[in-house]
Amino acid sequence: MLHCTDRHYRYLARLMSKKCFLYTEMITTGALIYGDRDRWLSLHKQENPVALQLGGSNPGEMARCAEFAEEYGFDEVNINVGCPSDRVQAGKFGACLMLEPTTVANCIRAMKSVSEIEITVKTRIGVDNEDSYEFLRKFVDSVISAGCNTVIIHARKAVLSGLTPRQNRTIPPLHYDYVYRLKQENPEIKIIINGGIRNKSAISEHLQYVDGVMIGREAYDNPYFLSDVDEFIFNTKTNTPSRFDVLEEYKSYVQTELDNGIPLKILAQHIFGLFNGMPGARSWRRYLSEHIYAKDAGLEVINQAVKAIIEHEQIAIAS
């Protein structure tokens, strides 16, 4: 979810769900140790619970970043052992680390030695030809032995060469049965399933076999997906906001961030899919895509995009 689940998107998500556990985009240890730490780790006061998803393989650096996460108020650090991109492989982290379970275990031990917050792992079911259930089980056994009590599993293997990251999200077949079996054999460990889950009925089905469900692209491409999860999943009675209600609240946040020098293109990219499935959604997306990149673009762009939706609805009614 690089460039997707940044702090602006997470603010948007919190307008719809107070209960779901949010994750940052994957952030490398180098970005935190040598870069602008506040940019990556500053949290909004209403953002928790939230996890820092971390990319790295050096135990000392990973431990230092776990300390940063605790200092900034994160609830969890999640080690990414699932991303298949070439750039991530070159940095010796992501899915290629499934082939180095000892390295991952050493990172977990180092992080737990300096931090009290939970350390978790997000992984695939396998890598290239190493895609048997036995391979997955041995990898998970290794991280459990190092002190990891929660494993998030994207139920596809990663193909490290020959497929793009986008293709890796759709082409390798899903093996939900691997994840179910892993939970059955490790009842004391929290197992969370991920991959190809796009509706509430699928969530309900998976929750019969595992402890949790992670939603990725669907929650980003169609953010209003989150509007009723507190009631549907957590049995919390809420007044589900309309899409326009969500947008009005987000607009207030956008103006504050614009005043702080954040360009509209960064803030508005997260609301492209807010009206997905509604009449006028295409007009909304088109207007945003044509205007948010202007140098001095401001809140008026979003307001005009809303008018594009309303005009589309009026035309549809008239016709």
What are the CA-CA distances from residue 316 to residues 268, 284, 319 (Å)? Answer: 26, 15, 5
Residue-level pLDDT at 90: 64
Confidence of residue 315 (pLDDT cuts 50, 70, 90): very low
Please indicate whether residue 83 is annotated as part of the active site.
Answer: yes
Phi/psi for 51 (5° steps) reads -115, 145
DSSP string, 51-104: EEEEE---HHHHHHHHHHHHHHT-SEEEEEE----HHHHHTT-GGGGGG-HHHH
- Closest Cα to residue 119, out of 147, 100, 160, 139? 147
Greatest extent of the chain over all pairs of C-alpha atoms, in Å: 67
- Residue 204, pLDDT above cutoff 80: yes
Angle subtended at Cα 103 by Cα 98 and Cα 105, rounded to the nearest 5 degrees? 90
Digit-coded pLDDT (tens) for 76-125: 999 999 988 877 766 678 889 999 999 999 999 999 999 999 999 999 99
Total number of residues shown for the chain: 319
Confidence of residue 318 (pLDDT cuts 50, 70, 90): very low
What are the CA-CA distances from residue 99 to residues 89, 105, 164 (Å)? Answer: 12, 12, 19
Q: Exactly one of 20, 65, 83, 96 is catalytic; name it.
A: 83
Confidence of residue 128 (pLDDT cuts 50, 70, 90): very high
CATH dotted code for 243-318: 1.20.120.1460
Digit-coded pLDDT (tens) for 7-52: 999 999 999 999 999 999 999 999 999 999 999 999 998 899 999 9
- Residue 166, pLDDT above cutoff 70: yes
- Closest Cα to residue 251, out of 180, 306, 206? 306
Model pTM above 0.75: yes
Give percent of the chain with pLDDT exceeding 70: 96
Domain ranges for the chain: 7-232, 243-318
Number of other CB atoms surrounding residue 319 within 10 Å: 5
Number of other CB atoms surrounding residue 282 within 10 Å: 14
Kindly tell me the burial class for residue 1, based on how many C-beta atoms sit within 10 Å of its own C-beta (0-12, 13-18, 19 or more): middle
Element (H, E) at 250: helix 243-259
CATH 3.40.190.10 fits 7-232, yes or no: no
Question: What distance in Å separates the CA atoms of residue 65 and residue 145, rounded to the nearest whole number?
Answer: 22
